[in-house]
């Protein structure tokens, strides 16, 4: 008897993206608790009588079972777990924004258990809160932290604590550099107050909301490369991200 060592049973997961495979099947990009982002082949999922039809939707907690030896594993079973309200309107676009970030920045088969839990909590927050901006900033910061690119928000490059009234030049790979002059050609200029507010998760200040959005876009663009995010453009068109 040959044992499939790659088989996974009833693993918590979310669907990030699906696309057609041949006439009746789908390839599912899933974000899973113990295996990270994995590609799965859902054979016959497009057939009307398939047990998988209607289950493989984004933002719904699932338990997935799969196996196989190739990079594209075969999805055997999917079970809906429920418990999350559906995303609607702008919150739905925000959810797709999170999924696109995960698709672009997570390597396949690289587990991020804590990020998975935070992602689920973020979806729940988007479904119940109208002010989604702090929720998105929090997820972006957590994602960068999980990838090893955590932002430095409480001290400058010399190790000195951030001073709220001071201005800083945030340099990717280094962190905040206190501005003694007006030159910030190697980074992004912002206030110490914004850095401290972001560290506390406090986005009540209008200035912090604006500067934090610019900072996160600046940092994420560095890691995303030249290809823009489609969902960010949608939100930008709504003048909300």
Residue 216 has pLDDT above 70, yes or no: yes
Intervals of CATH 1.20.1440.120 along the chain = 90-237
pTM: 0.91
- Assign 231 a pLDDT band (cuts: 50, 70, 90): confident
**Topology of domain 90-237, CATH:** de novo design (two linked rop proteins) (1.20.1440)
Among residues 7, 9, 13, which one has the least CA distance to residue 80? 13
* pLDDT tens per residue across span 116-163: 999 999 999 999 998 999 999 999 999 999 999 999 999 999 999 999
Hey, which residues does 18 pair with through a beta bridge?
A: 28
Give the residue range(s) of CATH 2.40.50.140 domains in the chain.
Answer: 8-80
Q: Which of 169, 174, 171, 172 is nearest to 194 (CA)?
A: 169
CATH code that applies to domain 8-80? 2.40.50.140
> Which segments within 131-238 are labelled E, that is strand?
167-171, 175-178, 188-191
Among residues 91, 30, 79, 86, which one has the least CA distance to residue 52? 79
């Amino acid at each position: 008897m040959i044992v499939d060592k790659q088989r996974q049973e009833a693993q918590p997961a979310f669907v990030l993206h699906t696309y057609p495979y041949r006439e009746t099947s789908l390839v599912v990009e899933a974000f899973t608790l113990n295996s990270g982002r994995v590609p799965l082949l859902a054979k016959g999922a497009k057939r009307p009588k398939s047990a998988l039809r209607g289950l493989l939707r984004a933002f719904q907690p699932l338990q997935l079972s799969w196996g196989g030896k190739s990079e594209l594993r075969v999805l055997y079973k999917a079970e809906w777990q429920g418990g999350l309200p559906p995303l609607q309107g702008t919150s739905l676009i925000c959810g797709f924004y999170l999924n696109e970030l995960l698709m672009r920045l997570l390597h396949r088969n690289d587990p991020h258990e804590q990020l998975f839990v935070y992602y689920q909590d973020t979806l729940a927050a988007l479904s119940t809160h109208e002010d989604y901006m702090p929720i998105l900033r929090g997820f972006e910061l957590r994602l960068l932290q999980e990838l090893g690119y955590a932002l430095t928000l409480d001290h400058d490059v010399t190790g000195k604590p951030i001073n709220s009234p001071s201005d800083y030049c945030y340099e990717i790979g280094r962190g905040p550099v206190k501005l003694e002059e007006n030159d910030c050609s190697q980074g992004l200029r912002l206030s110490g107050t914004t850095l401290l507010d972001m560290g506390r998760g406090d986005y009540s200040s209008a200035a912090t909301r604006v500067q934090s959005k610019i900072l996160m876009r600046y940092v994420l663009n560095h890691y995303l490369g030249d290809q823009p995010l489609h969902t960010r453009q949608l939100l930008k068109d709504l003048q909300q991200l």
